[in-house]
């Protein structure tokens, strides 16, 4: 069984967004497997970089749609995105500098952050953006 599972409860009903969320879940699982297999630091660092790049891409997809459709909570939602990117930057820097070891706690944190953000925050825009054209 995969470390993190995507399930229907996480569905926003917006295909492009759900596909990106599924891809994020997949990347967390890739990181988890690589960590468990004891892959080299260089490999893990690269996976973390990819996870961050994809997360940024996903956040920008949402933020472009907030702008396009004038989602009222765009400022507070965008702030949450920026906070996570900052946290990810810190984690990656520390990991590369050797002052942080990848652990199941870190994976749990990412899993929880993503799931809760989708359930509590992304679901707020779901009714507004459902059925609209989403530029990715
Ligand atoms: Fe999202
Ligand atoms: Fe979001």
Which ligand neighbours the alpha carbon of 125 most closely? 2
Distance CA(22)–CA(16), nearest Å, equals 10
Per-domain boundaries in the chain = 13-129
Q: How confident is the model at residue 135 (pLDDT cuts 50, 70, 90)?
A: very high
What gap in Å lies between CA 123 and CA 117, rounded to an integer? 9
Burial call 110-127: b when 16+ CB within 10 Å, e when fewer: bbeebbebbeeebeebee
In order of 22, 58, 78, 127, the CA distances from 61 in angstroms are 14, 5, 11, 16
CATH of 13-129, one of 1.20.120.50, 3.40.109.10, 3.40.50.10860, 3.30.43.10: 1.20.120.50
Instruction: Calculate how far, in angstroms, residue 53's C-alpha sits from the geometric centre of ligand 2.
Output: 15
Which one of the ligands is nearest to 124 CA? Answer: 2
Ligand nearest to the CA of 77: 2
Please write the tens of the pLDDT for every residue from 59-83. 999 999 999 999 999 999 999 999 9
Q: What is the pLDDT of residue 70?
A: 96
Reported confidence tier of residue 1, pLDDT bands at 50, 70, 90: confident
Per-residue model confidence as pLDDT tens digits over 21-57? 999 999 999 999 999 999 999 999 999 999 999 999 9
The pTM score is 0.97
* pLDDT value of position 43: 96
């Amino acid at each position: 069984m995969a470390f993190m599972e995507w399930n229907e409860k996480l569905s926003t009903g917006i295909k492009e967004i759900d596909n990106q969320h599924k891809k994020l879940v997949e990347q967390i699982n890739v990181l988890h497997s690589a960590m468990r297999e004891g892959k080299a630091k260089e490999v893990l660092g690269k996976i973390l970089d990819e996870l961050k790049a994809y997360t940024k891409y996903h956040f920008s997809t949402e933020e472009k749609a907030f702008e396009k459709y004038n989602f009222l909570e765009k400022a507070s939602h965008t702030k949450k995105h920026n906070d996570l990117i900052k946290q990810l930057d810190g984690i990656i820097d520390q990991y590369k500098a050797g002052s942080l070891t990848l652990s199941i706690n870190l994976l749990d944190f990412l899993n929880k952050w993503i799931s809760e953000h989708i359930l509590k925050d992304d679901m707020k825009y779901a009714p507004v953006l459902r059925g609209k054209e989403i530029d990715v």
